[in-house]
Structure 1
Amino acid sequence: MLVNSRFDATDGTGRIFAHMTAVDKSDGTVGKALAVLDQIASYGRPVRFAELLGDSPLPKATLYRFVQTLTNQGMLQYDVERQTYAPGLRLVRLAHSAWAQASLAPVARPHIDALSHETGETVHLAQLDHAQVLYVDKRNARDPVEMFSQAGKVGPAYCTGVGKAMLAHLPEPELTTVLAQQSWHQFTPATHGSPESLRAELAEIRATGISFDREEHEIGIICVSAPILNSQNRPLGALSVTGTTRRTNLDALAQLGPRLQQAARAIARDAESWVFPQSAAPHTMSQGERPYVRSDA
């Protein structure tokens, strides 16, 4: 059975390891190719074919065929000298387009800019990507601190402030499904180790409207977070203000809760009324007009 990697944890060395889920057979070749792209992107660095093969469930010939096709299509780039593969520029263009058209980032930008300026701390914007957190934007603190979360990275939902804020507002049985897909890796002594221990906190988050990361993902990193909810009370994303235990504490971050919720509500309002601008009306073919088809297509 081919598996698709959904990445929700790191092993402490920066290498991402995967919570593996099955690829639907109906996805066919496209699904397999995307799984290969997922795998290569997960390393966070150029990777040799031998390493890909060692981590892949695909036969050598099949994996090589996918890698070559993806390279020919510009989705991967190959370094001849180092003999390594990395995400290609075509993929970068697609990512920028998706960021602009499908994420909350363009709508939320002025609000997270204002929050970061007011608080002096790091502000994150995240959305749920299946069972994990995808960081779609970030503003650094006045005194930046190195941490896992970066725009474009994925992280675990069960032990991050933004993740818990969104999980708390998922309806059943969707929540049960998502919790079953978490890795429950013990990052720190404060990390939740099971769905049962997390559910009690999720009930509290629903009641208060804010969540906390109490050094659950990284030692020394704490945050307060609020969900961005649509008019049906479903999570569009989440917003957080993140600091370090060296210069702040949870009580101080909790004081930012009302301002964080205000920003989350503003983003939700803007998102529901936002329409991606169109440069021109679509062309409608007249009767008898035939679409142009390239002779070499």
Structure 2
Amino acid sequence: MDGEKTPTEQGVVKSATRALDLLEYIGRWGAEKTHSEIAEELGIPKSSLTQLLKTLVNRGYLAYVPATKGYELGTAVARLARHAKGGSEVIPAAESVLEWVTLQTQESCALNVMRGMSSQVVACVTSPRRLLYHMRLGDTAPLYATSGGKALLAFLPDEMLKEYLARVTFEPITLATIRTVKALIDELEVVRQSGVAYVVEEFTPGIAGVARPLLDESGFPLASINIAIPMPRFNDAVRDHCVEVLGEAVATVSRRLAG
């Protein structure tokens, strides 16, 4: 009959409903719930519940608390919520910090978040100098071609980074733009170790970029803060100063978000 689900489809829908009911139940109470409490409240057979809990814990949507033998919402739930908000909780904490960054460096700076395969500017401050780089709200760029994008990529969970690398297509934006997966992987490893990402004329000729990631408590990149510097002013001393300023900026925003 038209519209009638097969037994397999019915089982899939039932499993999905149980998973959503379980997440909503634990989230509603905001406290750990034991295996027995969940089974009794939601009417899920204990054998089925065991496998469901195991799957949700493995995917990070639930976390097991040994002390209470209970389950609570995991970091993956918070991560999805942050993506849904599109960085809106970070912007208020970062706006005055961006102003401070530009005051200290006299260069344009921006707050960037990940939008699919691109980074997007969600807040920015423009340099007061005549020779400058304009960053505008809503500007997007390939993650592999900007310092802010590389700072986000380097700290993605392995599963997300593998998916990105399998899908990415490199465009020769400038002569210096990264062209291969291997080159990108090698550079991201350096970014992970140092906590700083760089570009030199990889997205815009005549512009160098320096960026640091803004990480949540689990190490996931919420956003990045970058500084754009015209090449005539870019040297080792300027680069090191920007790295230091960005370190203080990221630390300040992190404290505001935590507090």
> What's the TM-score, normalizing by structure 2?
0.63
Work out whether residues 99 and 105 of structure 1, in 8 Å CA contact, stay in contact via their aligned partners in 2: no
Q: Pick closer, same or farther for the CA change 1:145–1:137 going to 2, 3 Å.
A: farther
Distance in 2, matches of 1:148 and 1:198, equals 26
Q: 2:108 aligns with which of 105, 111, 122?
A: 122
The alignment of Structure 1 onto Structure 2 pairs a total of residues equal to: 176
Q: Residue 230 of structure 1 is aligned with which of 202, 209, 216?
A: 216
CA distance in 2, matches of 1:129, 1:101: 10
Structure with larger RCO (C-alpha < 8 A, sep 6+): 2
Return closer, same or farther for 1:172/1:261 CA change in 2, 3 Å cut-off: same
Shift of 1:167: 0.5
Equivalent residue of 1:102, what SS? coil
Partner of 2:47: none
Q: Which whole-Å deviations, capped at 9, do the CAs of 1:24-66 have from their partners, x for residues lacking one? A: xxxxxxxxxxxxxxxxxxxxxxxxxxxxxxxxxxxxxxxxxxx
Note the alpha carbon deviations across 1:239-286, whole angstroms, 9 max, x for none.
01111012223552233212211211221221244xxxxxxxxxxxxx
- Which residue among 170, 175, 184 is the counterpart of 1:198? 184
Aligned twin of 2:169: 183
Q: 1:99 to 1:205 in 2, by over 3 A?
A: same
CA contact (8 A) 1:130 1:178 kept: no
Gaps of 5+ in 2: 1-83
Distance change (3 Å), C-alpha of 1:170 and 1:243:
same
Tell me the equivalent position of 2:155.
169
Query: Gaps (5+ residues) in structure 1?
Result: 1-97, 274-297
Task: Indicate conservation of the 8 Å contact 2:132/2:229, yes or no.
Answer: no
Displacement over 6 Å in runs of 4+: 98-101
8 A contact 1:126–1:135 mirrored in 2: yes
Q: Give the helix-richer structure, 1 or 2.
A: 2
Question: Using the alignment, how far apart are the partners of 1:169 and 1:126 within structure 2?
Answer: 14
Contact 1:224/1:254 (CA < 8 Å) preserved in 2? no
Give the distance between the partners of 1:270 and 1:208, measured in 2 at CA: 23
Change in Cα spacing, 1:145 to 1:106, as seen in structure 2 (3 Å) is farther
Alignment-derived partner of residue 91 in structure 2? 105
Once structures 1 and 2 are overlaid, which stretch shifts more, 185-194 or 242-251? 242-251
Higher Cα radius of gyration: 2
Percent of residue pairs bearing the same amino acid type: 24
What residue is the counterpart of 2:67 in the other structure?
none
CA separation of 1:99/1:120 partners in 2, compared to 1, >3 Å: closer, same or farther? farther
Distance 1:173 1:144 in 2: 43
Match of 2:121 in 1: 135
**Which deviates further from its counterpart, 249-258 or 180-189?**
249-258
> Structure 1 209/111 Cα, relative in aligned 2: closer, same or farther at 3 Å?
same
Q: Would the alpha carbon gap of residues 181 and 153 (structure 1) be closer, same or farther in structure 2, given more than 3 Å must change?
A: farther
Match of 2:136 among 131, 146, 150: 150
Following the alignment from structure 2 to structure 1, what is the Cα–Cα distance between the partners of residues 134 and 175?
18
- TM-score, length-normalised on structure 1? 0.55
Residues 164 and 266 (structure 1), Cα distance of their counterparts in 2 relative to 1, 3 Å cut: same
